[in-house]
Amino acid sequence: MRPLKVCARVRVKQVNAVVSIDHTLTAANSPLCPSFPVPESAMYDAYAKIEVMNVYDTTALVVHPTQNSIFTTQKNGALVHFERPKDSTRGYEPQAFRHFEKKTVHDLQFVERLGLLVCLANNQVTAHRASGDFGVVAVLDQYTPVGAFACRVREKDNMLFVVISARRQLHVFKLIKDKFDEVNIPFNPNQLYENSPLIRWASDWSIYFVNRTEFAFVQLFENPLQPVSSGIGQVRVITSRPANAPMLAIPEKELVGLAQGSTLKFFDGNGNPAKGINDAKYDDQPLQLCYDHPYVLAVLPRNVIEVRSLAPSMIVQAIPIDKCSFIAPGIPGSVFTLGGTSLYELRSRPMIKDNIRTLIKDMQFQLASELTDLCDTMTHKEKVDVKRKTAAFYFAQKQFPECFAIHKVLKTDILLLLCHFPDLIPEKYRSKVGKDATDFVPCPDFAYNDWKAAVNELSDFLTDIRTEHGKKVELHRKGEVRLSSSEFKSVENVLELAETVLLKCYIKYRPSMVSSLLRLDNNVNISEAQKDLNDAARFDDLYLLYSKKNHRREALEILAKQSKKEDSLYYGVEEAVSYLQTLGPNYFDLIKEHARWVLKEDPEYGVKIFATNETEAAKQLARDGVLKFLQAECVKAVIPYLEHAIFEWHDERPAFHDELVGMYVCKVRNNLKDYVHALGENEMIPRAGEEEGELGKYRTKLLNLLNSSDKYNAAKVETQLEDNMMNEKAIVYGRLGRHEEALLIYSHVLVDYELAEAHCDKYWKPKPLKSSGSTSKPSSYNSKADLKPSVDTSGIYITLFKAYTDPTLLSAYSTLKRINQSTKPKVSEALKLLARHPTQMDLTEALRLIPDKTELHKVWPALESVMESVKNKANALNIHLGLTQSTLQQKQVHLQALKSKKVQVDFNSYCCFCHRSVDGVFISFKDGRLAHYGCHMRDRGQAPAIAIQSQSLASGISRRERTFSALN
């Protein structure tokens, strides 16, 4: 498309480059409109009107929001691009593009983020590039004729969405590369009264549109703030619409203004009335609307543009414009409007600073604060001063959220803010309150609820500061951000002040939050917090403070007092036990000091101070010292502690095992006396460990410990056992190697054949084979039991066999107490033993011990087992022999193959490791490399073993030429 500087159909008249700013447009004697009555409520001149140029036949007007660039279209479809060169005083330079569209452009919208101009012409929507030749990018012609359209670029993915009204329906499209693809939205109802003449986006997910005499709302996509919403596609009538009533979209605030006669009502992106925005009321229904932060400009029928502030809603200025037909926002602080054939620019920036002074004088701080963001002539200090005055005004008006919202943006020093709350200033910081706190005067006339609301807002402000500075400290400690020592100290000071004041706020008005603050790592000033918590009688929270600040003695003293108060969270000993568990060996004396009262209150739970798997600190305590302490202070806790140390921590100290066995023996011995006397005449004595009550409990533990442990002194334990503790004696005799006595007890005193056989299973081991030329060393320990090296247990089954058939053959028979001397031989049990263990006893001796009077049919099953075992043993030996011979043959074949390999060694043969000539003993690798045997072994990390000498070849071969049988 060829740009034209001059075009017959495009008429542009440039006004003088030097323009004068009209500052008196709102005066009653305005030369442009002498009869125009200025409203009495007009406050100041927000805009200055500047005539830019004359344009003709304009059908649409749009302005680049960040550049000095204007686009207009004319009746013949031509586009005129007005651009002001940088550093130019000549004004705007027009450039016409005749073939932009073939027919009249009825609507034109600029999409800055994608650099597009989207227009409605020839009953269809077309997207053009917004620079260069303004060529066509995509055409939306699936539905015609199009009544209206609206564009929106979605924030999260930069996707352009276009809504059109056509065929009495709404259709949604998205631009993908150079094509508009329709997005299926299930509208309900699907049909409109007519094609909507006006559509505006309210947010990324919703639109407002005109449906004949109604303003309607519909949600098109999921609202990220309310993802559960189910109203997608549901058309909802918002309010009635008078004829030709306009709509105003404010994209940055996600607001839409709907004109209802002379009233402009505001709604949010969810179809609800906007909160905090009052209705704007005009003398007549606006013809067009425009938003230029912080003003709403309305074109009224009486050739005037009325300027109102959005919040608070009040009239600011009335600007006369004759025959105003278009109004469009430009860069912030600039609005363009077309009056007749004259294009005007309304500028607010030249007067902003004076207007801010006027607003402050009139106590309109909110509007003054908003204008400071647009003012280029104010210093940062001046802007901060205005915003602080605004925040102070909000504070005095009890608008605390608005007040602290400003302070969050300004990052106001906490000490300055605390001047509003003098009672909350910590004693440490009172002398540091600055002199520039004139805008932070306390308001003592507030009611209790007002102070509560103010302090709660202060709490939220301090929480944000705490989070922000806490992240800085965390990043510094991780090494991701480096702070200098002074910066780090400053951050820590801010954290201390913020958290100390935050604690004061919580104590006064949010007591439920105190614990959550103190329970985490914090920077609260301990002396200030201690005073506040004591004054408020919050002793549970005082314990949290002491525990987090590692004031261990004070924390334990608080727990000792609170453990006796039923209304305390720390009533009882549970918290004291948990805290003592964490202290560790460095505080052993402190642990013992406070463990006394805990053990006195609850010995069973108190022992967990020393015996727990929940903390490593308890495991690291000096166990001998703990045992002595418990023996002296709380004997009841000794057994639980020793049990935990031995069975949970696997402590192998003989002293611990001896002590626990002794404690068990003492318990069993004391309970046995009462238990035996309590039995009836015909009542059977139960098996050891199966007794009721405490006797059965501790006897089971004793038997298990005697069986499982090999660390106790068996000889010492034997002296502690009484004659009525035969089960225990049998186990101890086994540990001492006195198996005859143990087996006689099992077979003739306890008459428990299972235990007798289990004893043999535990201690039996085969007799070691004697190899010629070497002396076999007896194994000092069996895998099943701890035996003395001198004890031979290969004949333990024969010993039991003798105990069954003829116990008089055992030397211990005559000396063992409580044995029945008239007991008959237990031949049947002996034969069962022989049948089950034929390979573990001397068969000849076993058969010889069977009484001669024994009937053959009783002996036969045992003999069958013996013969079966002999047969199985013979078969196993045959199989083993066969496998051995097969393996031997394979090795011989492999050896022969290796011997057949010939390796030539001459003067050019070198070791692959040391690179010296090969001589003496060497190694040949499969890839042909050679190495000295010693080098090869050293490379493998081993010392050279037996050397294999190479042999010289037959005579006639060089002395350096040798052969080597490759054994590798």
Residue 527 has pLDDT above 80, yes or no: yes
What SS3 state is found at 140? strand
Task: Answer yes or no: do 512 and 555 share one domain.
Answer: no
Lowest mean pLDDT among 109-123, 683-697, 745-759: 683-697
DSSP string, 486-509: HHHHHHHHHHHHHHHHHHHHHHHH
Please give the pLDDT value at position 968: 39
Which of the pair, 522 or 788, is modelled with greater confidence? 522
Task: Answer yes or no: do 750 and 690 share one domain.
Answer: no
Cis peptide before 85 (omega within 30 of 0): no
What's the per-residue H, E or C state across 295-327?
EEEEEECCCEEEEEECCCCEEEEEEECCCEEEE
Residue 476 has pLDDT above 50, yes or no: yes
Task: Answer yes or no: do 579 and 465 share one domain.
Answer: no
Give dist(CA 126, CA 138) in Å, integer: 6
CA torsion angle 282 284 289 295 (round to 10)? -20
Q: Is residue 70 within 8 Å of 61, Cβ to Cβ? A: yes
Please give the pLDDT value at position 681: 54
For residue 8, the one-letter residue type is A
Contacts of 839 (CB under 8 A, 6+ apart): 869, 873
Residue 14: inside a domain: no
Please give the pLDDT value at position 689: 81
Domain end: 250, 265, 287, which one?
287
Residue 870 has pLDDT above 80, yes or no: no
- Look-up of token digits 């906007």: 274
Lowest mean pLDDT among 244-248, 381-385, 588-592, 954-958: 954-958
Residue 772 has pLDDT above 60, yes or no: no
Lowest mean pLDDT among 700-709, 729-738, 917-926: 917-926
Task: Answer yes or no: do 392 and 361 share one domain.
Answer: yes
Cis peptide before 654 (omega within 30 of 0): no
Please give the pLDDT value at position 756: 93
Please give the pLDDT value at position 502: 96
Task: Answer yes or no: do 484 and 570 share one domain.
Answer: no
- Look-up of token digits 């101070």: 609
- Residues, the chain: 968
- Residues 328-364: tens digit of each pLDDT: 999 999 999 999 999 999 999 989 999 999 999 988 8
- Residues 108-159: tens digit of each pLDDT: 999 999 999 999 999 999 999 999 999 999 999 999 999 999 999 998 899 9
Give dist(CA 224, CA 227) in Å, integer: 5
Residue 170: inside a domain: yes
Domain end: 597, 621, 651, which one?
651
- Could you tell me the two tokens for 265? 């009502």
Domain end: 900, 930, 945, which one?
900
Angle in degrees, CA 501, 507, 510, rounded to 5: 105
- Could you tell me the two tokens for 880? 């083993």
Among 414, 419, 371, 415, CA closest to 395: 419
Residue 267 has pLDDT above 90, yes or no: yes
- Could you tell me the two tokens for 218? 């519909």
State the residue range of the domain holding 152.
59-287
Task: Answer yes or no: do 726 and 762 share one domain.
Answer: no
Task: Answer yes or no: do 222 and 261 share one domain.
Answer: yes
Residue 470: inside a domain: yes
Contacts of 874 (CB under 8 A, 6+ apart): none
**Mean pLDDT calculated for residue range 52-70:** 89
Residue 954: inside a domain: yes
What SS3 state is found at 97? strand
What SS3 state is found at 481? coil
Residue 30: inside a domain: no
Which of the pair, 172 or 673, is modelled with greater confidence? 172
Task: Answer yes or no: do 887 and 940 share one domain.
Answer: no
What SS3 state is found at 866? helix
Task: Answer yes or no: do 201 and 224 share one domain.
Answer: yes
- Could you tell me the two tokens for 570? 């720390």
Please give the pLDDT value at position 767: 78
Please give the pLDDT value at position 860: 79
Number of domains in the chain: 7
pLDDT band at 211 (very low <50, low <70, confident <90, very high): very high
Rounded to 5 degrees, φ, ψ at 734 are -60, -45
Lowest mean pLDDT among 185-189, 394-398, 785-789: 785-789
Cis peptide before 31 (omega within 30 of 0): no
Which of the pair, 859 or 497, is modelled with greater confidence? 497
Residue 962 has pLDDT above 50, yes or no: no
Entry pTM: 0.69
Within 373-475, strands assigned E span: none
For residue 181, the one-letter residue type is D
Q: Element (H or E) spanning 117, and its range?
A: strand 116-121
pLDDT band at 759 (very low <50, low <70, confident <90, very high): very high
Task: Answer yes or no: do 420 and 395 share one domain.
Answer: no
Which of the pair, 863 or 848, is modelled with greater confidence? 848
Residue 255: inside a domain: yes
Lowest mean pLDDT among 286-290, 476-480, 623-627, 899-903: 899-903
Residue 35, Cβ neighbours under 10 Å: how many? 8
Give dist(CA 887, CA 563) in Å, integer: 77
Residue 38 has pLDDT above 60, yes or no: no
Give dist(CA 781, CA 797) in Å, integer: 19
Mean pLDDT comparison of 3-17, 506-520, 885-899, highest-scoring range: 506-520
Rg (CA), the chain: 51
Rounded to 5 degrees, φ, ψ at 213 are -110, 20
Residue 786: inside a domain: no
Please give the pLDDT value at position 830: 87
Residue 345, Cβ neighbours under 10 Å: how many? 21
- Could you tell me the two tokens for 772? 């010629």
- Look-up of token digits 């000539």: 917
**Mean pLDDT calculated for residue range 602-624:** 93
Task: Answer yes or no: do 847 and 894 share one domain.
Answer: yes
Task: Answer yes or no: do 251 and 222 share one domain.
Answer: yes
Residue 492: inside a domain: yes
Looking at 588-711, list the stretches that DSSP marks H as alpha helix, in order from N- to C-terminal side.
588-601, 603-606, 616-619, 623-633, 638-643, 654-678, 693-708
- Could you tell me the two tokens for 90? 């000549």
